[in-house]
Structure 1
Amino acid sequence: MARPDTSTPEKLSDKPRKFTMTLVNETQWTIQFQSSYFNSGRFEDAPTNVKPFNSMQFSGCDKDNSIMTGVSGGTAFRILIPTANNDYAHHDFSVGFSAPYGGAYKTSVVREANAERAYDAIKEGTTSLSSGVLNGLDEDGKEVGVKFELVAESGEHTTCTITQQLVQR
């Protein structure tokens, strides 16, 4: 997998408070964008789905003509895993972010598809979580158990990495 681009988009260079988040999908399943929430600010580039073993970058900033607001909110995602009975198991997660006009960059990752709750959980530094074991089919159609590890690092250039761990069934 190529190293993700974590540079600030040129169109954000004149914004007082901005962030980019790179979602790194180190799994064999697609990550689907579900929803977003803003306490303040807006997306410059909105989140999208992330193909297996790829990354996606989205960015945000204070609203145009706003005064000392910054940007803060959250995004919700879902990983769908095909199962043997032609259904899907899924793992929901959300990532919170904050680039306030004054103060530190903050982030979070929570174990549910609730963008506002992810925003409520933001803190400085690195946050992480592990999923429970989900049963499904791998890319070759074989039954597997899988756990996900998610790590989000705070900063103007935030990275959230999702890895898979196949487990004994």
Structure 2
Amino acid sequence: MPSPTVILKGILTAASLASKIGGMPAPNTGTPSGITDKARWFTMTLNNQTQWDIQYVTSYFDSGRYFTAPTTVEPFKDMEFSGCDKDGSIGTGVSGGSAFKIQIPTTDGGYETINFAVGWSNPFIGSFKTSIVLSNDPKDAYNQIQEGTSSISSDKFQGKDTDDNSVNVQINFVAESAQHMICTITETEPEN
């Protein structure tokens, strides 16, 4: 059921949204120079398939550090960040979480904020893990890391597209565990 308390504005029409997503290049899954010298490391690509910025908020580390820190991701772009074990550490890996938010303009001049966090881990012993949660606390995402793929969806919101038609909007999140992790954030227009 769509949220009755907020009306989003300026939503791309379904055809325009599909065209923008279809025109995106494949996600960047490169390896930063020098990171493979570390004992434990990962890269995470945030693939933003929405018309809004995804803003980096904060992080939590159980172990390790960023090799390349996260930043804001522009609409229909991707951003890669990476982590590794701390310099001089012995018998540790890299584990933690990163929090982000999407602020969607509303017809009343405000914003509807969708908070989410991605958990990630390449432990000294064990396998790659990741998670995605609807939270502004990166530790929540870290506490739910798992092998494989995790997914979650936002509430449905009512809105008006750029042709002034009423639509519903939902944001879907999928995170995949691997050395080169990918988190895809997609804007969809589901039925009621």
**Normalising by structure 1, what TM-score?**
0.94
Rate the CA distance shift 1:41–1:83 in 2: closer, same or farther, 3 A.
same
Whole-angstrom distance in 2 between the partners of 1:2 and 1:67: 39
Alignment of 1:69 onto 2:92 = yes
Note the C-alpha offset of 1:150.
Answer: 0.5
The Cα shift of 1:99 comes to 0.4
Letter in 2 for 1:97: W
Distance 2:159 2:69 in 1: 30
- Higher RCO structure (Cα 8 Å, ≥6 apart): 2
Matched, 1:156 2:156: no
Task: State whether residues 88 and 136 of structure 1, in contact with CA within 8 Å, keep that contact through their aligned partners in structure 2.
Answer: no
Within 5 Å, which residues of 2 pair with 1:6-155? 6-136=29-159, 140=162, 142=164, 144-155=167-178
Q: Which runs of 4+ in 1 moved over 3 A?
A: 135-138, 140-144
CA distance in 2, matches of 1:56, 1:100: 23
Preserved CA contact (<8 Å) 1:149 1:163: yes
Q: CA deviation at 1:73?
A: 0.2
C-alpha distance in structure 1 between counterparts of 2:36 and 2:46, whole Å: 21
- Corresponding letter in the other structure for 2:78: S
1:80 Cα shift?
Answer: 0.6
Q: Distance in 2 between matches of 1:137 and 1:63?
A: 48
Partner of residue 17, structure 2: none
Quote the residue 2:189 is aligned against.
166
- Deviations, residues 45-65 of structure 1 (Å, cap 9, x unaligned): 100010000000000000000
Higher radius of gyration, 1 or 2:
2
The alignment yields a C-alpha RMSD, in angstroms, of 1.5
1:137 is displaced (CA, Å) by 5.6
Quote how far apart the aligned CAs of 1:141 are.
Answer: 8.1
- Across the two proteins, how many residue pairs are aligned to each other? 168
Q: Which stretches in structure 1 are left out of the alignment for 5+ residues?
A: none
Displacement after TM superposition at 1:5 (Å):
1.6
Question: Residue 28 of structure 2 corresponds to which residue in structure 1?
Answer: 5
Q: Which runs of 5+ in 2 are unaligned?
A: 1-23
Letter in structure 2 aligned against 1:101: F
Deviation at 1:88, TM superposition (A): 0.3
* Structure 1 residues 87 and 168: alpha-carbon distance in aligned structure 2, compared to 1, 3 A threshold: farther
